[in-house]
A and B are shown apart, each in its own frame.
Chain A
Amino acid sequence: MNTPSLSRAFGLLLWRDLTLAFRRRTELFNPLLFFVLVTSLFPLGIGAEPALLRAVGPGIIWVAALLAALLSLDSVFRSDFEDGSLEQFLISAQPLSILVLAKVVAHWLITGLPLLIVAPLLGLLLDLPTASIVTLMLTLALGTPVLSLIGAIGVALTVGLRRGGVILSLLVLPLYVPVLIFAANAVESAGAGLSIAAHLSLLSALLALAVSLSPLAAAAALKISLS
């Protein structure tokens, strides 16, 4: 117990971020509410024609999930930057990239996982076939962690700026596009009875790449932002 322990620090930070989120429950539901509202407004706007909804449904759900993720990104490092906790992470006895990974995992559990849970309901709302809904869950499970991981790099770069919001979107959105294309296309293909193995492989590859590289990139970016 008296030596610095990596897994202990990882677990502690995860616990800390989840505790903090739980103590600020009102902010917890913002991305989820956004996701549900945007998706459920579409049938009102474009007409409740089942064939039409089935055609645009996958795209709508994924775009809403992407924007919800973008909306919640700023909270990854903002409060830690403002109260000086980030400085403490920087000079902790643990590698910063591991701490960043813990924060991103916590962020995904708080903002990404709820999207995954309500997505089937929204799929029903847009009259998606069962195969599409299953695929939607799969793509969200693979894709939303990628969004959080890539987003962390962008936030790490812009956390020192006063108004980083616009730059953050410009930085991060282009990197989100591949996820959106493959994921929405997979859901559509599944609905048409086509194979989605290639899409899922690509999304898994993106996830593997993001898990291994983005904590390193975000850690380097944080060091720049804080120096």
Chain B
Amino acid sequence: MTDNPEASSLEAHSLSCIRDDRTLFENLTFRLVPGQILLLEGRNGSGKTSLLRLLCGMRQPDAGQIHWNGEDIFQLGPDYHSDIAYVGHKDGVKQDLTAYENLKMARGLGAPNPTFSIDEALDRVELWGFDDSPARTLSAGQQRRLALARLLVTRAKLWILDEPFTSLDTLGISIVESLFAHHVAAGGMLAVTSHHKVSLDDADIVRINLSS
């Protein structure tokens, strides 16, 4: 592991993913460097979520390798995981814990971010004042924002996000887009699927369309 953000890179070499005898994609190769956004496009069922789960290391690719800073992510294991943060379809929010406790747990599982305290992270997603509320009393959009606040409490360089804008209103979307812009400007990386049009001006976007 290196602290120099310039040295980070995520590389996929001829990835294939087969699910239930159906080839979702094959021979997929791309490279992502700091400041770049990987935007996955494609129809429903084209393998966007599967690709993100491969990138998280939750699933082994059927062929090909994924390299983080030049090393295979399955070799790196927890060293790789301390550099990534993932928000999937399921929020991963514990309904019976308060917003604060949820983030405390997320912070403890990863490498804590020295620049953001939990309160600041809640403030950034405009959940300030909800820190003591059990997550189950929050609305769907607020829960989504709470899940996205997890990105801030660890110092992950690579954010992997599956449909982050689901159930967010326009205000929520603009909050999250500003988080993205900040992260990318600070030398972070982003891998994201979205049906929404991601409006990030002058961002360096790598587009991959899995349907084509």
Per the bound structure, the CA–CA distance linking A83 and B77 in Å amounts to: 23
Taking the closest CB of chain B, its distance from the CB of A14, in whole angstroms, is: 11
**For the complex, would chain B's binding face be called helix, strand, loop or mixed by DSSP majority?**
loop
- Contact A94 B109, beta carbon cutoff 8 Å: yes
A75 interface residue, CB < 8 Å from B?
A: no
Shortest Cβ gap from A78 to chain B (Å): 13
Question: Which residues of A are found within 8 Å of B94, using beta-carbon distances?
Answer: 16, 20, 83, 85
Closest residue on chain B to residue A96 by CB atoms: B78
User: Number of A residues contacting the other chain (C-beta, 8 Å)?
Assistant: 31
Q: Is A88 an interface residue (CB 8 A)?
A: yes
Inter-chain contacts of A23 with B (CB < 8 A): 96
Contact B96–A20 (Cβ < 8 Å): yes
Asked if A19 is at the interface (CB within 8 A of a chain B CB), the reply is yes
**A88 near B108 (CB under 8 angstroms)?**
no
Contact pattern, B 133-166, Cβ under 8 Å of A = 1, otherwise 0: 0000000000000000010001100000000000
Nearest-neighbour CB distance to chain A for B207, whole angstroms, equals: 25
* CB within 8 Å of A: which B105-132 residues: 105-106, 108-114
Whether the Cβ atoms of A2 and B114 lie closer than 8 Å is: yes
Tell me the dominant secondary structure on chain A's binding face: helix
Verify if A8 is at the interface (C-beta below 8 Å from B). yes
Shortest CB–CB separation between residue A77 and chain B, in angstroms?
Answer: 13
Among B37-45, B84-92, B180-188, B196-204, the one that faces the other chain is: B84-92
Which of chain B's residues have a CB closer than 8 A to the CB of A84?
A: 88-93
Among listed B2-10, B24-32, B56-64, interface-contacting one: B56-64
Contacts of A4 in B (CB 8 A): 78, 82, 110-112
Does B67 lie at the interface of the complex (its beta carbon under 8 Å from any beta carbon of A)? no
A90 neighbours in B (Cβ, 8 Å): 56, 58
Residue A92 interfacial (CB < 8 Å): yes
Q: Are B101 and A91 closer than 8 Å at their CB atoms?
A: no
B81 touches A93 (CB 8 A): yes
**Which residues of A in the span 61-108 have a Cβ within 8 Å of any Cβ on B?**
82-85, 87-95, 99
Determine the distance from Cα of A12 to Cα of B104 in the docked complex, in whole angstroms: 8
Closest to A9 in B: B108
Chain B CB within 8 A of A13 CB: yes
Is the C-beta of A163 less than 8 angstroms from some C-beta in chain B?
no
Indicate whether A26 reaches chain B with its CB closer than 8 angstroms: no
A24 / chain B contacts, CB cutoff of 8 Å: 96
Asked if A226 lies at the interface with its beta carbon under 8 angstroms from chain B, I say: yes
- A74 to B175 CA separation, bound complex (whole angstroms): 38
- Inter-subunit contact B93/A83 (CB<8 Å): yes
Contacting pair A19 B82 (CB below 8 A): no
Is B23 an interface position by the 8 A CB rule?
no
Q: How many angstroms between the C-alpha atoms of A19 and B102 in the bound complex? A: 12
Q: Are A83 and B78 in contact (CB under 8 A)?
A: no
Q: How many angstroms between the C-alpha atoms of A2 and B86 in the bound complex?
A: 19
The CA of A23 and the CA of B77, in the complex, are separated in Å by 34
- Residues B111 and A87 in contact, CB atoms below 8 Å apart: no
CA distance A5 to B113 in the complex (A): 13
Residues of B within 8 A of A3 (CB): 111-112
* Bound: A2/B114 CA distance, A: 6
By the criterion CB–CB under 8 Å, are A93 and B95 in contact? Answer: no
Chain A residues with Cβ below 8 Å from B82 are 4, 93
CA distance A101 to B98 in the complex (A): 24
CB-contact partner of A16 in B90, B101, B150, under 8 A? B101
User: Given the complex, which residues of B lie within 8 Å of A83, measured CB to CB?
Assistant: 90-95
CA distance A89 to B94 in the complex (A): 13
Interface flag for B97 (CB, 8 Å): yes
For B147, give the chain A residue with the smallest CB separation. A84
A41 an interface residue at 8 Å Cβ cutoff?
A: no
Chain A residues near B90 (CB-CB < 8 A): 82-84, 87
A-binding residues in B (CB < 8 A):
53, 56-60, 77-79, 81-82, 84, 86, 88-97, 101, 104-106, 108-114, 150, 154-155
17 contacts between A and B (CB under 8 A): A4-B110, A8-B108, A19-B101, A23-B96, A24-B96, A83-B91, A83-B93, A84-B90, A84-B93, A87-B86, A90-B56, A91-B81, A91-B84, A93-B109, A95-B78, A223-B58, A227-B59
